[in-house]
Structures are given as structure tokens and as C-alpha cells.
């Protein structure tokens, strides 16, 4: 089986130029649709004056060089490259660990996608300190050539988890994947602190939610400002 060379050509043995734009179009559409739908879920909660477990949603299509590297590392071929699970990636940010499970239930109930795998890195934290919940899905889209199913990965994280993971990713990139021991030790310490932060915030979750619902309501915000003699917006 010939390994994929996702550079200018798929393989050395073929003269067919690999059309990156055509290949990535379904993934771009998938990420766009999922972001709109999941942001819509948040809006529905807020319109009903309910607490939303979704804080915000981001998404990206994997960069070409990252796809190339992973294809070589994992041995994907021209025929199997679409089995790569994270070319389309969506990240759902939440405030509390308990919100992760609420978002997960929302995803499990949806009829417009099919969950094919779940990876729990919250209860099974990676050795590096990484925590998150990953859901691999099959997502159907309609292109002018017809319907097709795209693999995508949805990551659900608290803000603390995301802060740590973003820093770790940046440092890994800086050091070419080999982070110095001293820096790695500090990252491990920071991972424990992030987990502790999540635990402490979870302990006062109800109080925080009530306060946020209060300030999400325009009239309640005005009443608060009058009672406290504040004319400026709350920061």
C-alpha cells in the first residue's frame, strides 16, 4: 500500500495533482455548519432565560502541513486519508466541568450527526496534564456532487482546560515537540492548578450561574446599577 505524499502530488507514482481546495471544501462546510448550530443552541438557552452550558464555540480546518505530517506519521494512504478524524475540528468551551456532561448529552440527542467514538481525557487525564472530552462524529453534508458524510472531532473543554492546552500546544510547537524538563514540570504543576480551579469553581457553580443570569437580564442590570448608584457599565 502506497503512503500518501500530501505535497504537490498524492504519490510519486501518479501525475495527478492533489487539489487541496476541493479536498478541504467539505470540511470547511462541516465546521461552518456545526459552529452555527452549536452557537444556536446557546442562543436558544439564553432566549428562554436559561443557563447555557455552552460558553462559546470555535472551529478550524486542519492546516495542510499538519495533515501532511499526520498522514506520514500514521500511514494514511490516498484511499484512507478521509479516515483522519480531526481534519474538521470544533471546540465547545464551557465554564464548569459539569457543563461538559450537559453538552455531551445535547450532542448524543442530536439527529443531524452520529457519534462514533468518545475519548474521556477528563477522568483519564493524559500524562502531560491534558484534559478535555473528545467526540468523533460522522456529519452528513450536501455538496453539488451529492450527499457525503464527513468525519469531524468535537472537543469539549472548560476555560481552564483550554487555557492550559493552548499554552502547552504553543510551547510544544516552539520546542519542536520536545519541551525541556524544567518547563514540562511547570506545565504539570499548572495542570494541577487548572484542575483545582475547575473543582473550586464547580463548588460555587449555582451561585455563579444565578449571578450571571441576573446580569444577562437588562432590567436586572439597570436595577442593580440604580440600587448601587452606578452609572457606568459593569466591567
Other beta carbons within 10 Å of 33: 19
d(CA 221, CA 219): 5
Residues that are catalytic: 153
In a domain, 126, yes or no: yes
- The better pLDDT of the pair 129, 107 is held by 107
- Position 176 scores a pLDDT of 83
Task: Tally the domains of the chain.
Answer: 1
In a domain, 168, yes or no: no
Question: For the domain that residue 64 is a member of, what is the CATH number?
Answer: 3.30.460.10
Range of the domain at 128: 20-159
Residue whose cell numbers read 444565578: 210
**Global model pTM greater than 0.85:** no
In a domain, 177, yes or no: no
Mean pLDDT of 62-86: 90
Other beta carbons within 10 Å of 220: 12
d(CA 198, CA 98): 10
Give Cα separations from 135 to 103, 121, 127, 163, 181 (angstroms): 11, 11, 20, 20, 31
In a domain, 4, yes or no: no
d(CA 116, CA 220): 43
Half-sphere exposure of 29 (CA within 13 A, CB side): 16
In a domain, 30, yes or no: yes
In a domain, 192, yes or no: no
> Could you read off the pLDDT of 194-225 as tens digits, one per residue?
999 999 999 998 888 877 777 666 555 555 55
Give Cα separations from 77 to 50, 54, 62 (angstroms): 47, 37, 17
Mean pLDDT of 141-160: 96
In a domain, 139, yes or no: yes
- Position 209 scores a pLDDT of 81
Band (pLDDT 50/70/90 cuts) for residue 173 is confident
In a domain, 171, yes or no: no
Amino acid at each position: 500500500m502506497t503512503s500518501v505524499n500530501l505535497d504537490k502530488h498524492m504519490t510519486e507514482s501518479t501525475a495527478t495533482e492533489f487539489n487541496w481546495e476541493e479536498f478541504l471544501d467539505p470540511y470547511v462546510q462541516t465546521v461552518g455548519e456545526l459552529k452555527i448550530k452549536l452557537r444556536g443552541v446557546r442562543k436558544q438557552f439564553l432566549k428562554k432565560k436559561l443557563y447555557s452550558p455552552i460558553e462559546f464555540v470555535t472551529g478550524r480546518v486542519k492546516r495542510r502541513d499538519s495533515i501532511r505530517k499526520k498522514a506520514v506519521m500514521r500511514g494514511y494512504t490516498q484511499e484512507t486519508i478521509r479516515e483522519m478524524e480531526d481534519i474538521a475540528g470544533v471546540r465547545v468551551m464551557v465554564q464548569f466541568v459539569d457543563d461538559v456532561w450537559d453538552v455531551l448529552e445535547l450532542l448524543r440527542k442530536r439527529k443531524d450527526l452520529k457519534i462514533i467514538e468518545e475519548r474521556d481525557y477528563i477522568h483519564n487525564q493524559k500524562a502531560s496534564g491534558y484534559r478535555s472530552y473528545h467526540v468523533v462524529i460522522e456529519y452528513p453534508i450536501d455538496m453539488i456532487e451529492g450527499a457525503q458524510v464527513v468525519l469531524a472531532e468535537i472537543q469539549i473543554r472548560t476555560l481552564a482546560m483550554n487555557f492550559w492546552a493552548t499554552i502547552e500546544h504553543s510551547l510544544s510547537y516552539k520546542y519542536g515537540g520536545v519541551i525541556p524538563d524544567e518547563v514540562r514540570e511547570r506545565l504539570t504543576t499548572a495542570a494541577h492548578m487548572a484542575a483545582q480551579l475547575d473543582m473550586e469553581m464547580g463548588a460555587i457553580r449555582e451561585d455563579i450561574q444565578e449571578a450571571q443570569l441576573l446580569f444577562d437580564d437588562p432590567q436586572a442590570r439597570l436595577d442593580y446599577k440604580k440600587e448601587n448608584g452606578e452609572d457606568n457599565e459593569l466591567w
